[in-house]
Amino acid sequence: MRHRMLKPDKTDSKDSPFMSATHTITHPSFGQMSADRVIIFDTTLRDGEQSPGFSMNLAEKLRMAEALAALGVDVIEAGFPVASKGDFESVSQIARNTKGAVICALARTGGPKDIIAAGEALASAERKRIHNFISTSPLHMKYKLRMEPETVLDLITTGNTAARNLTDDVEWSAEDGSRTDPDFLCRCVEAAIKAGANTINIPDTVGYATPEDMERIFAMLLERVPGAEKVIFSAHNHNDLGLGVANTLASVRGGARQIECTINGIGERAGNAALEEIVMAIRTRHDQYPFTTGIHTPSLLKVSRMLATITSFDVQPNKAIVGRNAFAHESGIHQDGVLKNAATYEIMTPESVGWSRSSLVMGKHSGRAAFRDKLKALGYGELEDSKLNDAFSRFKDLADRKKVVYDEDIVALVDDEVRDHDRIRFESLSLSSRSGKPSEVELALQVDGKTVAAQSSGNGPVDAAFNALRVAFPHEARLALFSVGAVTEGTDAQALTTVRLEEEGKLVDGQGADADTVVSAVRAYVHALNKLLVKRDRAEPEALTA
C-alpha cells in the first residue's frame, strides 16, 4: 500500500504579531511591565455581584477581597460607588483594608458624580484606579444613551480628564466595544488615551463576539491608534455564547495584556470569563501562550469554595478546574490509565489548583485496577485474585443498581467476601411473594465446595429465606437477634443486616450487606453460621479432654 506524503506543517501557534510584545510599558501602578506579563483584573465584587442573587454584604466582600489579594490578583474591582451607600462603603472599606492589589472603582464616563464618588471611595487605597465606561456601539448610543457619537467622544475626553485628576491609574472601557464601528472605536480609544487613560478595555459586553473578532479588534487598535503602544489593552468577555474564556485568550493573541474575569465565572447573565480557567489555560498551554500571571494557582480551589459558600451558589460538578468532577475519574479505562500515569488523563495536576489528589469514583464504569486500588486505600491490602474477582463482580452488580457506590458500601461488600475458611457460602436466591400469601424462597448455598439447593416458605421473605437455609444446612441454632439498617442514605442504599445465633449458650453475630434486603439477611445468617461452626470446632477438643 502506498502512503501519500504529508506536506510539512508550517503553521506556528505564535504567528500573531501581537503574541510577543514589541514594547515595554511603564504603568503608574505596576512600574515597568515585563512584555510577557498579563495583568489579572478581578471583577467578582463588581460584575460578579451583578449576577442575580449573588449580592454580598460588606463583611463578605471584605473577606473575598482579602482572599483575592492573597490569590495574587493585580487589580480588584471593588464596586460602583455611586450606585448605593452600601457600594460606596464596601469600596471604601476594601480600599482601606485590602493590601497588595490595586483597588478599582467603577464610574460612568458621562457621570461627573460617579467619578467624584469613585475618587472619594478610593481615598485610602495604597494604589487606586478609577475605571470609567461609556457605550460606543451605534445601538447603545442611539437607544440607551440617546447621545450622538460626537457627544460620547466629548464625554470620553472630559470623563477621563476628570478621573486622571483624581488618580494616575485610569482605565476607560468602550461598553459594547465588540459591536462598535472600528473607525469610531479607534477615535474613542485615541481620545481616551489623550485624556490620560492608561488602560483601555474593549468589552464584549453582550457575549456576542467570536475569538476571531476579539483578536482582530485588539490587533487593529494596536496598529491604528496613535499612542496605543503606551497603554495596556484589556479584555472583558461575557459568556452568553459560552465563549468568554476562548475570547479572552484570543484577545491576548491580539495584543491585550490585561484580563478582566471573575472567580467561578460569575457575572451579569451567563457570567464573565472565569479567572481560574484563563489562568490555568495560560499556564497549561504555555507553549502557545508564553505569558505569566501573578496568580498562586494552588489557592484557586479555596477561593472558589469561599465564593460559593458566601453566595450559596455552588459551581456545577463539571466546572473546569474547581468543579467536583474536574479531577474525578469513573470509567475503568481512565482509572487504569491514571493509576499507571496520571498524565494520561490529567492535563494539570490536581495539586496545582488546590485539590489534594485526583479521585477515582467507584461506579458502574469502574474496572478492576481502580477497585484493587480502592481496596488497598481502605486497608485490605492485596486480595488474592479469586477473592478480588468475586468481590469485584458483586461490586459491579451493586453499581448497576446504585447511583453512587460509597467506601462504606465497598467495605460492607468486601467484608462479606474476604472471610477465610468459610465452609458455607451464599450462592443465589429467588423469591416469590404476594400480599396475603406465604413467601416462597429457592436458595442455593455452597457447603464445603458443593452446591446445595433448598426451597421453603415462610411468613414473609426473610422468614422463608431463613427456613430454606435451615433445610439446606440443617442446624439447631436459635435466631436471637435480627436487625436491618442502611449502609448509606437513599432508597438505593445497601441494607446492612446483623443476625445473632445462639447454640448451647454460645452466641455469634454475623453481618451481611446487599442492596437486596433479603439477600443481605441471608448473607448475615450465613456469616453467623460460619462463626458458629468455628466455635463448635474449637469447643470439641475441650469437651474431649473434660
Ligand X SMILES: CC(C)C(=O)C(=O)O
Ligand Y SMILES: CC(=O)SCCNC(=O)CCNC(=O)[C@H](O)C(C)(C)COP(=O)(O)OP(=O)(O)OC[C@H]1O[C@@H](n2cnc3c(N)ncnc32)[C@H](O)[C@@H]1OP(=O)(O)O
Question: Considering beta carbons, is residue 4 or 85 the nearer one to ligand Y?
Answer: 85
Strand pairing of 495-503 and 506-514? antiparallel
Q: Which three cell numbers stand for residue 459?
A: 411468613
- Of 162 and 472, nearer to ligand X (C-beta) is 162
Among 90, 173, 180, 258, binds ligand X (CB under 6 A): 173
From the list ligand Y, ligand X, none, pick the one residue 173 interacts with, judged by a Cβ distance below 5 to 8 Å according to partner type: ligand X
Binding status of residue 132 toward ligand X by CB under 6 A? no
Burial of residue 253 (number of CB atoms within 10 Å: 0-12, 13-18, 19+): buried
C-alpha 233/C-alpha 245 separation (Å) is 16
Min. distance of Cβ 374 from ligand X in angstroms? 46
Which H or E element spans position 225? none
128 sits near ligand X (criterion: CB under 6 A): no
Residue 132 or 498 having the CB closest to ligand X: 132
The answer to whether the CB of 406 falls within 8 A of the CB of 414 is no
* Binding residue for ligand X, selected from 205, 251, 304, 497, defined by CB under 6 A: 205
**Annotated binding-site residue? 238:** yes
Set of cell numbers at residue 458 = 415462610
Stretch that binds ligand X, among 110-118, 199-207, 314-322, 517-525 (CB under 6 A): 199-207
Residue numbers 446-505 binding ligand X by CB under 6 A: none
By the rule CB under 6 A, 409 interacts with ligand Y: no
The verdict on whether residue 23 carries a ligand-binding annotation is: no
Contact call for residue 108 and ligand X (CB under 6 A)? no
Choose which of 180, 199, 201, 262 interacts with ligand X (CB under 6 A): 201
* Of 60, 162, 69, the residue nearest 109 (C-alpha): 162
Whichever of 235 and 468 has its CB closer to ligand X, that residue is 235
Is 47 near ligand X (CB under 6 A)? yes
Helices in 179-210 by DSSP H: which ranges? 182-194
| 529 HSE (CA, 13 A, CB side) | 24
**Least separation in angstroms between CB 227 and ligand Y:** 22
C-alpha cell at 210: 467570536
- Report the DSSP pairing between strands 258-261 and 232-237: parallel
Compute the radius of gyration of the chain from its Cα atoms: 34
83 is an interface residue for ligand Y by CB under 6 A: yes
For residue 264, the minimal CB distance to ligand Y (Å) is 18
Q: Which of 160, 198, 205, 239 binds ligand Y (CB under 6 A)?
A: 205
Please provide the DSSP assignment of 281-311 as one string.
HHHHTTTT---B----GGGHHHHHHHHHHHH
Query: Which of 536, 529, 474 shows the shortest CA–CA distance to 505?
Result: 536
Cα 44 to Cα 519: distance, rounded to the nearest angstrom:
53
Tell me how many residues contact ligand Y (CB under 6 A): 16
> Judged by CB, which is closer to ligand Y: 103, or 383?
103
Residue 109 contact among ligand Y, ligand X, none, beta carbon within 5 to 8 Å by kind: ligand Y
218, 256 Cβ separation under 8 angstroms: yes
Q: Let me know how many helices (H) and strands (E) the chain has, helices first.
A: 16, 18
Give CA separation, 328 vs 302, 325, 408, in Å: 18, 5, 19
Least distance between ligand Y and beta carbon 111 (Å): 5
Where in 131-160 is the site for ligand Y (CB under 6 A)? 133-134, 144-145
47 lies in the binding site for ligand Y (CB under 6 A): yes
Question: DSSP 3-state assignment of 270?
Answer: coil
Q: Is 80 in the site for ligand Y (CB under 6 A)?
A: yes
Of the candidate residues 88, 133, 327, 392, the single one contacting ligand X (CB under 6 A): 133
Counting contacts by CB under 6 A, is residue 175 touching ligand X?
yes
Alpha carbons 515 and 264: distance in angstroms, whole number: 38
Only one of the segments 4-12, 29-37, 106-114, 210-218 lies at the binding site for ligand Y (rule: CB under 6 A); that segment is 106-114
**For ligand X, which residue of 61, 129, 236, 523 counts as binding (CB under 6 A)?**
236
Segment interacting with ligand Y, rule: CB under 6 A, options 104-112, 183-191, 209-217, 220-228: 104-112
User: Is 54 one of the binding residues for ligand Y (CB under 6 A)?
Assistant: no
C-alpha to C-alpha distance for 210 and 273, rounded to whole angstroms = 13
165 is in an annotated binding site: no
**Which grid cell is 92?**
471604601
Say how far residue 92 (Cα) sits from the centre of its chain: 32
Q: Write down the least CB distance from residue 144 to ligand Y, Å.
A: 6
> Is 50 a binder of ligand Y (CB under 6 A)?
yes
Binding residue (CB under 6 A) for ligand Y from 75, 82, 166, 245? 82
By the rule CB under 6 A, 117 interacts with ligand Y: no
Q: In terms of CB distance, is 53 or 436 closer to ligand Y?
A: 53
Q: Which three cell numbers stand for residue 19?
A: 503574541
Whether residue 159 contacts residue 132, with contact meaning beta carbons closer than 8 Å, is answered with yes
Helix (H, G, I), strand (E, B) or coil at 57: coil
Choice between 58 and 270, CB closer to ligand X: 270
Consult the annotation and say whether 365 binds a ligand: no
- Beta carbons of 18 and 232 less than 8 angstroms apart: no
Which residue's CB is nearer to ligand Y, number 70 or number 145? 145
Give the span between the Cα atoms of 345 and 321, in whole angstroms: 14
Cell triple for 95? 480600599
Which one of 197-205, 244-252, 357-365, 409-417 is the stretch in contact with ligand X (CB under 6 A)? Answer: 197-205
C-alpha distances out from residue 157 to 82, 149, 258, 279, 425, Å: 20, 13, 22, 34, 87
Nearer CB in complex with ligand Y: 55/316 = 55
CA distance 103 to 119: 11
Query: Is 276 a binder of ligand X (CB under 6 A)?
Result: no
Q: Which residues are annotated as a binding site for Mn(2+)?
A: 47, 236, 238, 272
Q: Residues interacting with ligand X, by CB under 6 A? A: 47, 133, 173, 175, 201, 203, 205, 236, 238
Q: Residues interacting with ligand Y, by CB under 6 A? A: 47, 50, 80, 82-83, 108-111, 133-134, 144-145, 175, 205, 268
Q: Which residues are annotated as a binding site?
A: 47, 236, 238, 272
